[in-house]
Amino acid sequence: MESHSTSGGSPIVTITGCVIVAIRDDLDDRSVMVLQDHLVDEIARTGATGVIIDISSLEIVDTFAGRMLGAMAEMSKMLNARTIVVGMRPAVAMTLVELGMTLQGVETALNADRAMALIKAGR
C-alpha cells in the first residue's frame, strides 16, 4: 500500500490495483486541479484498473463538486480505470438530482469494500 497527500491535502492511496481518493469538503479550484493531476499520475504510474472516490466528508454538493467528480471519472476512464464513488450521503444524492447532474460514467457503491469487490470482479 502506498499513500501520499496532494498539496491540497486530499489523500491518495493505492491498494491492489485501485487508487483511493478521499475528497475533502474544502477543496478550491486550485486544489482540485492539483488533485486531478496527482490522480492521473498515480493511475498511470501504478497501472491501476480502478479508482474509488470517497466523498463521505462532503456535507453538501454543488455544481463545482459535481463537475469535479465527473471530470475525475472521465480522466480515469481515459486511462482505462473504472471509477466508483463511495460514501454518498442521501442529501448529497438528492442535491445532485435536483441540480440535474447525472454524473455520466460514475458508478456508486455503499462503501470502499463493495467498490473494491466490484472492481476486482471486473463488472
Question: What pLDDT sits at residue 116?
Answer: 94
pTM of the complete model = 0.86
Structural domains in the chain (count) = 1
Q: Which three cell numbers mark 86?
A: 463511495
- What φ, ψ does residue 54 adopt, rounded to 5°? -95, 115
User: What domain range includes position 57?
Assistant: 2-121
pLDDT tens, position by position, 32-43: 889 999 999 999
- What parts of the chain have a pLDDT lower than 70? 1-9, 123
118 near 109, Cβ under 8 Å?
yes
Q: What is the CATH number of the domain that holds 67?
A: 3.30.750.24
Joined grid coordinates for residue 65: 463538486
Residue 24 DSSP label: P
Rg over alpha carbons for the chain, rounded to the nearest Å, is 13
